[in-house]
Chain A
Amino acid sequence: MNKFGFTFFLAACGLFGQSILSAQSAEAIQGKQLFNASCAVGYCHGLDGRAGRGPRLRGRVWAKSYLYKTIEQGIPGSSMPAWQGRISEEKIASVVSYILSISKEQPGAEGERVQAIPSTAPTDSPGKSLFFDLMRDRNCSVCHRVSGAGAAVAAPFKSFQPVPARALLAKITAQPASGSNIRIRLAGGEEFCGVKAAADSQYLRVYDLGGAGPPVLRTIRKRIVLSETPCPSLNVHGSNSVVYSSLELESIADFLTRQ
């Protein structure tokens, strides 16, 4: 069957096929609950796939493989997130099943109401909340990235050995022997300590850690840099005994070892 014929066949199914909501599988019914809790939220695909910021899903024809790919991997550069790893494969399958079940309906068809909505997102751990705690200006995440979240001022955590929390705690509180901590003096009198990020023949890129807020990645012309010297006084980790209590640091260490 040529492409036109295939499209026509599917369209005909849509036009003449009766609503199959009443015959939805248990899997599709579970998928509907998940869909309306996760995919219809806010301004996304709309209740029962009626459209929002995301496109209308009901009443259209979808390839099963496309649905799996899009739900699992998301659409890069768009608002569509990747759900793989966030919800189970079974749940993704149920959402696919549900979307396929409404793909033969016409827009505007009434759907049954969903009453009970399960939560699909993982629960935050105390250590994770502390790691990203925005109420602390020098929380871990303003410099460190873990599992793809947080800033990249410091080198990202590459691997996590299952070490005892207290051992990791000792590492956290120790001053890192980093050669990238520098003190910059600029023409005009400005002077600050930071972490060197990159440099070329004309520009220096440095994370300015001199303010109270988050580090600022500054691009500075080398010709206005009067001096660039080590900054041993830049003791970010040493101050963490003030930012976090010992118990909180243990909690963070526990979170990190689980990554």
Chain B
Amino acid sequence: MVSLDPMTKKFARHTSVFLLAVTAFCASTDMTSERLIHAAAEPQNWLTYGGSYNAWRYSALNEINRDNVRKLVPVWAFQTGKSEGGFSCTPLVADGIMYITSPGNRVFALNAATGEEIWHYYYALPKTLGLIYGPVNRGVAIGAGLIFMGTLDNHLVALNSRTGQEVWNVDIEDMRQCGCNITGAPLVVKDKVLVGVTGGDSAHRGYINAFYVNTGRRAWRFWTIPGPHESGNETWQSGSWKNGGGATWLTGSFDPELNLIYWGIGNPAADLYGGARQGSNLYTDCVVALDADTGTLKWQYQEIPHDVWDWDSAYECILIDKVIDGVSRKLLVHPNKGGYAWVLDRVTGQFIAAWRFGENVNWISGIDSKGSLLGRNEPVKDKPTLICPSVSGSRSWNHASFSPQTGLLYTPAMEYCDVITARDEAPVQGAPLFGGGYEMKRPPNAEAGGHLDAYDPVSGKRQWTYRSKYPLLASTLATAGSLIFSGDPEGHFFALDALTGEKLWSFSTGSGNRGSPVAFAVNGRQYIAVPTGWGSAVAGAMPQIWPETEDFPAGATLFVFALPD
């Protein structure tokens, strides 16, 4: 390493900022759909929410690897100043610029090598929100020189990626009326930007909207519950479709070859009581495949007909190709809150397999070879019933990752249960419609806690397990350095050996990890970034079992690590 005098260093730093600014300008006109489609060819960047359209959360960078990860040190940190609800975003990195969001819809563009701010945008929120969703934000999307963010009052805004200035702003549906908003990251697909909505625990009818990136005009809208005279509406007891939930609160995937968008659809409302919505309740708890240009439904697969457990099927759709019985298959692997991961043929929607990653599961006894649920154990109206896992799920929304290097899928999990009492509640548009209450309980015959596991993504055969005292609520990141990064509620950000699960490195960040780490490089140097800051509904409820977690400090710090110079 060449030693530089202080003045030279200062000049170099300023030069670096200048060059980065130039790069940012170029990127703002250069972030084409082709670049997004081929994001894997740019491992120095992290261009979409899932790292690439297949939602692998995998980085091909290997400068940091299992042989040297013990030397990893923090190189910069950034404070957003907003800690309520937890720091839950996935940073995006494009050509040396990082884009992050904080709770309360703040966006920051940062020099990815130094952490210096380039611009910020503070969205003007209404004085009163009063929604049961939020105030978190999980990140932005980038494309066509713009940065896109969904807001807590259900707007979608487009910002100039070079200046942060608002270019367009569309009010999707009034939050005061719908009781819904946006916490998930949008997804740019070709000339459109797609965004989902919360509202699955309210009297609301969900949707996915696609807007033209250049104008903000709506291109198409997919209702997650079919309307009258549409196929599937008959799966709802009369009138219940209007308030049936079906939120789309996370971010979908895209297969450019098939031109299909895949999105997980959330639970039906009321969550815990199905007596007023008899039927299978399409398309709740489905994976839907939509034509990327028109939003037309190509296929749907319902994992949980008539969900009465609040399982959602809203989590990430991981797209992998694998040879099964001698035939190359295009697959979609889909972890579900209920503790199972479904494996589907993403061309046809055909069921291939389902495997269990939750250890304490009693809501069904199993899933047969055709995908049918066996031995349903449903909450009972006005009578407490023990259900495992808890309504928070065998896993929260924080994402799994897939490494093509090991061929394994890495997902966090958590182990506790609920005593649920279902209730028949009258729906009022936009008001909460949960259909019952719950009290958290330790599993009857096992330890409460968390784990992070490596699985064969099709067979579900577990390769290793990393145990945690508390549920793990941070996403995982897989890298070509044969590493898995994640964090825990006590604030440890750690690296595991992707082949064995052995913990190789850990750094105390000072606040629980709830967000999604990413890898990137600037000028050939690899970095690992992680948002740290404890919070969220699941984190907030943990004191019911772990009283000490009530005192776990909040935070709002992005840490970035690298090997020493």
**Residue A47 CB within 8 A of the other chain:** yes
CB<8 Å pairs between A and B, sample of 16: A42-B271, A43-B540, A44-B132, A53-B541, A54-B540, A77-B135, A107-B544, A108-B547, A114-B437, A123-B428, A210-B217, A213-B170, A214-B218, A217-B168, A217-B170, A219-B167
Nearest CB on A from B144, distance (A):
14
Least Cβ–Cβ distance between B348 and chain A, in angstroms: 31
| Chain B residues whose C-beta falls within 8 Å of the C-beta of A154 in the assembled complex | none
Contacts of A162 in B (CB 8 A): none
Give the number of residues in B that approach A within 8 Å (Cβ atoms): 62
> Interface SS of chain A: helix, strand, loop or mixed?
loop
A231 to B432, CA, bound (A): 42
**Cross-chain contact B431 with A121 (CB below 8 angstroms):** yes
Given contacts A47-B439, A108-B547, 4 further A-B contacts (CB under 8 A): A52-B541, A78-B130, A119-B428, A141-B174
Which residues of B are found within 8 Å of A211, using beta-carbon distances?
A: 215, 217-218
Is there contact, CB below 8 Å, between A51 and B550? Answer: yes
CA distance A110 to B136 in the complex (A): 32
- A79-B129 in contact (CB<8A): yes
Question: Interface residues, chain A, CB within 8 Å of chain B?
Answer: 36-38, 40-44, 46-48, 50-56, 74, 76-82, 107-108, 113-115, 117, 119, 121-124, 129, 132, 134-135, 141-142, 148-151, 190, 208, 210-219
Please give, as numbers and ranges, the residues of chain B lying within 8 Å of A36 by CB-CB distance: 437
Q: Complex formed: what's the CA distance from A119 to B423 in Å?
A: 12
Compute how far the CA of A41 lies from the CA of B85 in the bound complex, rounded to whole angstroms.
17
- Shortest distance from the beta carbon of B392 to any chain A beta carbon, whole Å: 8
Q: Which of A51, A107, A117, A132 has the most CB of B within 10 A?
A: A51
B109-135: contact bitstring with A at CB < 8 Å (1 yes, 0 no)? Answer: 000000000000000010111111111
Q: How far apart are the CA atoms of A55 and B544 in the complex, in Å? A: 11
B96 lies within 8 A of chain A by Cβ: no
Q: Please give the distance in Å from A138's CB to the nearest CB on chain B.
A: 12
Nearest chain A CB to B27's CB is how many angstroms away?
20
Residues of B within 8 A of A114 (CB): 437
Q: Which residue of B lies closest to A76 (CB)?
A: B127
Residues of A close to B165: CB separation below 8 A: 219
The answer, yes or no, to whether B293 is at the interface (CB within 8 Å) is: no
How far does the alpha carbon of A219 sit from the alpha carbon of B165 in the complex, in Å?
A: 9
Distance (whole angstroms) from the CB of B28 to the closest CB of chain A = 15
Question: Which residue of A47, A81, A134 is within 8 Å of B438 (Cβ)?
Answer: A47
Report yes or no: A47 in contact with B437, Cβ–Cβ below 8 A.
Answer: yes
**Pair B130/A80 contact, Cβ less than 8 Å:** yes
Q: A106: nearest residue on chain B (CB-CB)?
A: B547
B216/A208 in contact, CB under 8 A: yes
Provide the bound-state CA to CA distance between A141 and B175, in Å: 11
By the criterion CB–CB under 8 Å, are A132 and B177 in contact?
Answer: yes
Contact status B177-A149, CB under 8 Å: yes
Chain A residues, Cβ within 8 Å of B132: 41-44, 53, 79
Tell whether A50 pairs with B170 under 8 Å between CB atoms, given A42-B434, A141-B177: no
Indicate whether A119 sits within 8 Å of B218 (C-beta atoms), given known contacts A40-B437, A81-B128, A135-B227.
no
Q: How far is the CA of A149 from the CA of B171 in the complex (A)?
A: 12
Nearest-neighbour CB distance to chain B for A203, whole angstroms, equals 8
Task: Tell me, yes or no, whether B426 is within 8 Å of chain A by CB.
Answer: yes
Q: Bits for B163-186, please: 1 = Cβ < 8 Å to A, else 0.
A: 001111111111011100000000
Q: Are B176 and A148 in contact (CB under 8 A)?
A: yes
Which 7 residue pairs are nearest across A and B when measured between Cβ atoms? A213-B218, A81-B130, A211-B217, A43-B537, A216-B216, A53-B537, A149-B176
